[in-house]
A and B are shown apart, each in its own frame.
Chain A
Amino acid sequence: MLNNIVGLLAAAPSLNSYESIETFTVGSGGQSSIIFSTIPSTYKHLQIRGIMRSATASTDDDPLFRFNGDTGSNYVRHQIFGTGSTAGASAATSQTSIQGQGAGNTAPANVFGANIVDILDYTNTNKYKTVRTLAGTDQNGYGYMVMRSGLWLNTSAINSITIITGSGSNFLQYSSFALYGIKG
């Protein structure tokens, strides 16, 4: 009986298993990329939480996520999305990044897109790495909500993550991305 109780306690989720690793908040000059360059291998999963707005002259722009500096066509995506009037789904192979969702600089002032990106079993060297993204931007009359899955076709442990914008423009001030580690 005692062993059973101890086992249940051990299996219970602990909030102490979720730790902040590093955070970047963009300053007044803007920033072309954000790099988490020294990711420890001591966690089971990673989560990135952030908001973003870029300098591009568009309502939308996307944060793009690359692992270990890999700029090759080694990423795969599936998505289901809502535009506020239409729901759709699509897929793409041979991509150069994993995709989030954000706002461009013709969005109303103070509007940012929100992203939560889960990177699962990131240190396992026996399998490709899978990612899920919950992201969207609402702009009071315009919006885009998306759930994405992503695959990095590489078995390497992830030790760095680079975030750039899909447009190539800078991240604007107050854009912020925080990296967390979740213990197994």
Chain B
Amino acid sequence: MPSTYDKIEAKTLGSAQASVSFTSIPSTYTDLVLIVEGIATSGGTSALALQFNGDTSSAYSGTRLSGNGSTASSDRYPATTVMGGGLITSSVRFNNIINIQNYSNTTTYKTALFRANVSDALVRTSVNMWINTSAINRADLLAVGTTFATGSTFTLYGIKAA
């Protein structure tokens, strides 16, 4: 059987940036996986956010489950301008694995499952929705209130179903 899990694009920052974009995502896969590993230039634990196709409207929603080392909690963010399931911090290296399901169909709203880790503060998983049926062709990752530091890595994979 053919390989079906391909690296689409990888970026390693040569300088600090507030956002990182994948601007020409092919429509030939079924799911996308985004892996983000890095550290922020300043600030405590904050959101690593995501937007699709340049949509900055209040078209994102999510339900999050978090643990801070002593307490588990859950919250939601309906009708918001970013998909806010990720985590970022300047205190330790963070990582986020973002699974974007059935991203190229034009019949369903798009759902993404996040696993986000800040090892000295918070672990989080979340289900997030883009309230839009368009195929995703662009993804912008945003460091909310800070910037991604030099050396932070961003890798986009595509998974193709038979």
- Specify the main secondary structure of chain B where it touches its partner: strand
Min CB distance, B89 to chain A, in Å?
21
Structural contact, B111 and A145, CB atoms closer than 8 A:
no
- Closest residue of chain A to B63, judged by CB? A143
Residues of A within 8 A of B112 (CB): 114
Residues of B within 8 A of A136 (CB): 63, 111, 113, 126-127
Q: A21-B1, A23-B161, A51-B102 are in contact. Are A116 and B78 (CB under 8 A)?
A: no
Q: Does B159 contact A (CB under 8 A)?
A: yes
- Closest residue of chain A to B97, judged by CB? A134
Structural contact, B65 and A134, CB atoms closer than 8 A:
no
Q: Does B90 contact A (CB under 8 A)?
A: no
Q: Does A70 contact B (CB under 8 A)?
A: no
Please give the number of chain A residues whose Cβ is less than 8 angstroms from any Cβ of chain B in the complex: 46
Which one of A87, A110, A146 contacts B109 once the chains associate, using CB atoms below 8 Å? A110
Structural contact, B75 and A84, CB atoms closer than 8 A:
yes
Which one of A21, A84, A138, A178 contacts B129 once the chains associate, using CB atoms below 8 Å? A138
Which one of B3, B72, B108 contacts A15 once the chains associate, using CB atoms below 8 Å? B3
Q: Does A16 contact B (CB under 8 A)?
A: yes
Structural contact, A112 and B108, CB atoms closer than 8 A:
yes
Residue pairs across A and B with CB atoms within 8 Å: the count is 153
Residues of B within 8 A of A137 (CB): 111, 127
- Specify the main secondary structure of chain A where it touches its partner: strand
**Which B residues from 82 to 125 make CB contacts under 8 A with A?**
99, 101-102, 105, 107-109, 111-113, 115, 125
Structural contact, B1 and A19, CB atoms closer than 8 A:
yes
Structural contact, B74 and A114, CB atoms closer than 8 A:
no
- Closest residue of chain A to B102, judged by CB? A51
Q: Does A147 contact B (CB under 8 A)?
A: yes
Q: Does A3 contact B (CB under 8 A)?
A: no
Min CB distance, A167 to chain B, in Å?
20
**Chain A to chain B contacts (Cβ below 8 Å), 23 pairs:** A15-B6, A15-B157, A19-B3, A19-B4, A20-B160, A21-B162, A22-B162, A49-B101, A49-B161, A82-B63, A84-B63, A111-B108, A111-B129, A114-B111, A136-B111, A138-B63, A138-B127, A140-B78, A140-B129, A141-B61, A142-B76, A143-B62, A176-B102
Chain A contact residues, CB within 8 Å of chain B:
15-16, 18-23, 49-51, 80-89, 110-114, 116, 134-147, 174, 176, 178, 180-181
